[in-house]
Amino acid sequence: MTRYALALTAIAAALVLNATTTARAHTPEDVYDDCVEAIASAVHRCQARNRTSAADGSQLITRLLNAGQTQRARLVAHRYRRKINADSEECVDYVNHLCRRCVTALLEFGAEELARDLVGVCDRAVHAIRKSQRAALAAINNALGG
């Protein structure tokens, strides 16, 4: 996902949250459900981005190694590691931003228990992104032979 696509996603999520908290008479449970859906969607996109980077990078590294271009393969691995790390940080930042907005909205409703539950959802979401980051980095390292 490019920064442009992530920005569009952030705008869409902000519109959903704004509509959730102001335009319609939702219950706290509706806000919670909308937030969980938005968070899950963001996590799935981030995981897909990491899988794609790992697959693309591994394939290119393997081709370079098979062609005897070890130095280029190492450079490509370095670039893909940086990309995976940067993309994952961007995803975590986005999920944390979304979580802060959602928790704030729930607290404004006076739904402290739902807000606490959502914090758990957010923690698991960040963990899932980090797990996909580690898996993608491992795939790059394995392709390089290390």
pLDDT profile of the chain (146 residues), mean per 10 = 53 54 71 97 98 99 98 98 99 98 96 97 99 99 91
Distance CA 44, CA 21 (A): 24
What is the number of domains present in the chain?
1
- Confidence (pLDDT) at 26: 86
pLDDT of residue 107: 96
Owning domain of residue 122: 3-144
User: In Å, how far from its chain's centre is CA 120?
Assistant: 16
Query: What is the model's pTM?
Result: 0.82
Positive or negative, the CA dihedral 46, 52, 57, 62 is positive
